[in-house]
Amino acid sequence: MDFNKKYGILYVVFFVFFMFYKPVICFLIFGIIALVYTVNSILHLNNISKNGIEITGRIISYESDAEGYKTPIVEFQTIEEKIITGKPSFHTSSDLDKVRSFQANIHKSVKIIYNSESPEKFILKDNSNGFGLIMLAIVGLVFTYISVGNLLGYNNIF
């Protein structure tokens, strides 16, 4: 989901305001954002899976972020003979990825599904993206449940 900067700043302003005024609203904001991101990601993955084009690419390297999670850099050729190199539009990593070496996977062929209208948006076909989305949905539901319950007076945690 592409949160542009002007909406991001608006979310932060509301979050900071309610942090001092009524902190339970922060839980509600966080829960709703997590749920919206989850639904948007599921719709994006579903759209690419149903309408995308399946092709074989190869992993050319891995890129680590600031925390050490590794994301594959994949190169593939579209049906229109255009060569695309980039990271999957959605990828989940685990803590094991921080210490594990992926040297054996470099130059390995992988099946990908890309969006025909925008080939830069692609996913790895056999990657387990569901677990990360399920965990995010559970966290969003818990935060939303706690905040709505508190606002209705059912639990006084805050």
Task: Summarize pLDDT for 84-141 with one digit per residue, the tens.
Answer: 999 888 777 766 666 666 777 788 888 999 888 888 888 888 776 678 889 999 999 9
Structure tokens at 83: 């060569």
CA angle 74, 70, 63 (to 5 degrees): 55
Residue 8 pLDDT grade (very low, low, confident, very high; cuts 50, 70, 90): confident
Q: Which one-letter amino acid corresponds to residue 56?
A: T
Return the pLDDT at 1: 45
Q: What share of the chain is helix, strand, coil (3-state, %, to 5)?
A: 45, 20, 30
Taking phi over 0 as left and psi of -120 to 50 as alpha, with beta for the rest, 122 belongs to beta
Q: What is the mean pLDDT of residues 71-85?
A: 89
Examine the pLDDT at 62 and tell me if it is beyond 90.
Answer: no
Examine the pLDDT at 49 and tell me if it is beyond 60.
Answer: yes
Examine the pLDDT at 60 and tell me if it is beyond 80.
Answer: yes
**pLDDT, tens digit, for every residue of 13-46?**
888 888 888 888 889 999 999 999 899 888 888 8
